[in-house]
Structure 1
Amino acid sequence: MPVDYYEILEVAPGASTEQIRAAITAQRRVWVRRQSSPDPERRAYAEQRVRDVDAAEKALLDPAARSAYDEKLARTRQAAATAGSGAAAGGQGNGPNGGGLRDRVPAPAPAPGGSRGPGTPGGAGSGGPGTSGHRRDPDLHDHLRRGDRYLEQGRWRLAQAEYDYVREREPGNLRALTGLGAAQVGSGRVKEGLAVLQRAVEANPDAEDVKVALATALYEVAVTSVDHWGDGRGTDRPVITSRRQYTLVRRHLRRIRKLDLTDWNVRMYAEELKDLLAEARAPVWVRSRSLRLYLVPLAGAILFVALAHVESLRVVGACWIVLIVALYVVRHRQPAWKQHRRGYGRGRGGGRGPTHGGTFRKGI
């Protein structure tokens, strides 16, 4: 069966070219940055998603290619539906009284006293809609598993729908709440998602899984918020190129440390953000283009101090020396993120990464 590019891009089959192009841009922005994840499995999955998005662009943006793809997809779905209906017809009469396999699945037991159980549309034996429609109660565990699978695959809208379904029927479900926050963060609604996870942590301070989910979301947001620079070998690494990025990474690192987790992955996240900050604030000396403007006054001030016979004149000369040296240091000793910002335009698009200030560690 061909890959459903509409499902990958999270657009309707009848979406316009502009909508498909916008979805491709949004998906590529997410998954290209996730290719630098330290987790090999996540990195491999992100690379596969980028290839799928590239294939979707070729198949859906060209009118002729899209028409051929739609016909192929429609034929495949029709064949699958025909095979499914044939299998269902063949299953009739297998059980006693001619009932099929679906009819032999036992119905869920009613709640004691005819009350509604968790996730039950209507109470059995109460005369509600749950007794007349012969519908099975929704399996919330299956919805949670589907939501987790969609979350791992990066299908944020589908994951959010599954978690919302569970929360409507079981508002106190902690797994659905954390999954909903993670799905919102992944889809770009960072503030809303982090707020949901933070509320979950505050309401359940002893839940280790919730804290790990918040720490993972903070790490992902910090890594994807900075710029990425190709190292010349086909891979990207995060590079801080502005004070805003530096402040955001530092703030998220503090929040991760406040969670006080002992999980190995969380410790690795904190260590990587720490290395990223250390690399960004490492001092870098900039070569002066007008060194004479500093050397000539400095030499004059030194001679003035050496030849002056009055103590007050020597003090004035020493002050001039300190002022000139301080001015040179302020103008030529800068944090590395400023150098990254200057060289980022030259390094984009697979060029060499920053070579000053050392190298990034731990495969960031």
Structure 2
Amino acid sequence: MTDFVNFYDLLGLKDTANEEEIKGALQEEFKIWTKRASMSTKPDVKQAAEKRLRDLSAAEKTLLDPAARSAFDSTRHQRAAEAQREEMAQTRSTANSSAEWVERAKQFYAQGKGHSAHYAAKHATLIDGENAEAWFVAGQASFMQKEWADCGVEFNHAISLDPTNAEFHFEYAESLSGLGGWKEAKPSYELALQLEPNNLLYKAMVASCWRHLENFQKAYDMFVEILNVNDAVDFVHDEAARSIIGIIITSGMLPKNFSHVGNAVRSPEAIAFLEEQLSNFDQLRVKDEGVRATAAELRKAVNWAKVQHFEVRDDPRFWLGAAGAAVLCFILGVNGFPMLFLLGLVIVGGGGFIFWKRSYRYGWMMNAGKYSYFTPMSAEPAGQAATPQAVEAG
């Protein structure tokens, strides 16, 4: 049997996609299917997610290696045609009832064969249009194939037939959030959570909606609740921790355009805000080493921003010229021109003071690009002035 996967279709990319586009698509797909593999309790869904992750790993190795990609491209069309013929042959079934076709669809879905799974599930709906599970599996197969319009219709049909099924609402929300529709997805995530209040994955996704809608306080509080649950699944626990550190970085004093954490702290207010938030963060049960490393990097940036650093920003010829003028005044001063000697002292004293003020600056000033002679520590911040408590949006 031909087990061929078109990696471009898998990632939703054209065969002309560049390396950056491929890496971006891989990152998004790995995030989606890691979550599904980690959280699903249904064997077919878990198997499908694990199969998709294996395919994504193969796609990463192939498409990011120029030689392997060239070899893949040279045989892709022929192998895809052979695989399609075999897959179509497999859809021929002796199944008669709608339930039997649904089981067949689940088998295809678990094997990562979205097209065949959709065919079998739709066949089940033709036999029994009131079979909610058939419509749901059809929606899952469309989700796998990135057929977003069909996916939404099929999930909605399943929900209309079984409105108390939390999983139906959750999967429909997933299809919306996958396209960036967090505002549209939030009501369905919330319905799923209402039906299963103890489901931490559902709670995490509601919190993610609040975060994307910039209601950072609600998102923060929900993620903290998840971290405080002792038996939280590792994936959900780690995702909550990553989200909290992300909220700390993006919802407070930090500017929108900083390139990395190290240059983000640009005001005294940002220093105070981050110190408080990092102190709170230290009290949380965070297990993910990557998240802890990010917090440590941010703490290092805060400490650097709090102290003064030496950095010469001026043209050294200016200061050499001033020094030369002072020396000349001293020479003339000791040779009968005392006023010039005093002028030399003024040049040395005043110039030295200005040099010190311009060269020794707080780290936050250097990040913010502040070069005035006497910028006080209470200067107006260069970044955002909001805190999570003050942000109310969404």
Q: TM-score, normalised by structure 1?
A: 0.43
Q: TM-score, normalised by structure 2?
A: 0.40
